[in-house]
Amino acid sequence: MKKLSCIIVDDEPVARKILHEFVDQVPFMDLQGKFENATKAEVFLKSTAVDIIFLDIEMPKVSGLQFLQKMHIESMVILTTAFPQYALEGYELDIIDYLLKPFALSRFLKAVHKARDYYQMKTRTVGALLPSYIFIKSEKRIEKIELNDILYAESVGNYVGIYTDSKRIIAYLTMKSLESQLPPEEFIKIHQSYLVNCSRIQAIEGNEIKIGSNSLPISRNYREMVMKIVQQRLLKR
């Protein structure tokens, strides 16, 4: 497996130093840069893609959460903060993990191994036979869901709601975890909180997708990607 590239974004010099030391102790990590604010990190990311961003929340001018809301981030994000009240909002932005300062090396390692596991699932061998269904643990039972039956999934706090024509299934997992188990050519993100089944889209009107009896918003950050996929199957004169 290739090394996972990463950057550190934190306005505290001591925090950047500690994270740098922790990253150096992980054989599969490759630090690409350290930035004292989100603006500098944004400039770097426009020209260089990385696998993981260690992102502080409380920073001057642009907070870590504002940074995530503003940019279409493909990288895995591990939030690092001294403020536990941001945990729920962080998970709504589809982060990999949330490190509460001060954190020990053991907790840091747990987070980066979680990121590595997600990366390996996402990049599993192309062409591997994908099942036509998945199993989801919901409350005290495990439910089988046919992929064709899924309309869309919605991230709500620390769980995901999976909607079909007839029901909603609550699963205690992250949107990234669900996304990694679904064929990317069939299921696309239209918003930080929504993943839709392309084959079940009925119409696109303005900045909304009509699917089932619902209208879901297409966020500005995802609109270009959504329209590229639509254009591939758009009939022309």
* pLDDT tens digits, one per residue of 91-105: 566 788 889 889 999
Task: Take residue 36 and report the two structure tokens written for it.
Answer: 């004292």
**pLDDT score of 127:** 45
pLDDT at 236 exceeding the cut of 70: no
| 201's tokens | 């889209």
Rounded to an integer, what distance in angstroms lies between the CA atom of residue 91 and that of residue 104?
21
Q: How far apart are CA 161 and CA 167, in angstroms?
A: 10
Whether the per-residue pLDDT at 70 is higher than 80: the answer is no
Beta strands in the chain (DSSP E): 4-9, 29-35, 52-56, 76-81, 97-100, 133-138, 141-146, 150-156, 159-164, 168-171, 187-191, 194-197, 201-205, 208-211, 214-217
Q: What separation in angstroms does the CA of 175 have from each of 31, 56, 76, 105, 224? A: 26, 21, 12, 26, 20
Residue 100, classified by CB atoms within 10 Å of its CB into exposed (0-12), middle (13-18) or buried (19+), is: middle
Q: Considering the entire predicted model, what is its pTM?
A: 0.56
